[in-house]
Amino acid sequence: MRIETLSIFPEMFETVMATSILGRARQRGALEYVGHDLRNWTHDNHRTVDDEIYGGGPGQLLKPEPVYEALDDLLKDAPATVIIFTPGGEPFNQAMAEELACAQRLLMICGRYEGFDERVYSLAHRQISLGDYVLTGGELAAMVVSDAVCRLLPGVLGSDLSIVDDSFSQGLLEYPQYTRPETYRGQQVPEVLLSGNHAAIDKWRRKMSIIKTAELRPDLLAASGLSEAEIQKALEEE
């Protein structure tokens, strides 16, 4: 996969895209990353990318010309899924990450100030929001999406099975997990996990996923497709 970003602060990506999962994915050849500076498509001495808002109002807007010209250049040889981050976009979730992981090339445009001139949004194939809050720019959102998508690529994680039981992948939160020591400050690892009985462990994990989801994210449980009988059984066994 090839991920590209278009931003007025491309240097923000340097450490993140070279570290941990993303860095290893690049080393293995599973991910190619290129960051583009939006100011490269300006034509004045100040490399101006923003201007005042028609009709008045606080702040500045990113101008349409640099973004349009950038995409003219960047997409002339190969297509890409173009993403813009905006509070009015689709809520980002695991299902969307899985969908984007199937793309050959993602181009994420990162806003600043009061956002973009409205005409810019017509360039996007996907408008995405990370949640009901406001960031100072789209760079952090692009990093989050890059991380969530990249870890789904084949061979990126140590085991492709690592993503199977991730929270949200099955519509539920992931079950509790433990490591050594068996007892710490009076808290004991559940005996079933020490039993070596994998069928019993799988059953316990399923039950605990349901219980954890019911306690922390009942909205997910309602949309999980589980039968009332299975949910009730897990809760009664708690």
Give the residue numbers annotated as catalytic, written as ranges: 87, 114, 151, 166
Query: DSSP alpha helices (H): ranges in the chain?
Result: 20-28, 64-74, 94-100, 139-150, 198-216, 218-222, 228-237
Amino acid at 50: D
Which residues contact residue 93 at a Cβ distance below 8 angstroms, ignoring those fewer than 6 apart? 168
Which residues contact residue 135 at a Cβ distance below 8 angstroms, ignoring those fewer than 6 apart? 141
Rg of the chain over all Cα atoms, to the nearest angstrom: 22
Locate tokens 């040889």: which residue? Answer: 77
Closest alpha carbon to 219 in 90, 93, 89, 86: 93
Cross-strand bridge partners of residue 85: 128
Q: What are phi and psi of 222, to 5 degrees?
A: -65, -30
Measure Cα distances from 108 to 38, 75, 204, 222 in Å. Answer: 12, 13, 41, 33
Locate tokens 């941990």: which residue? Answer: 20
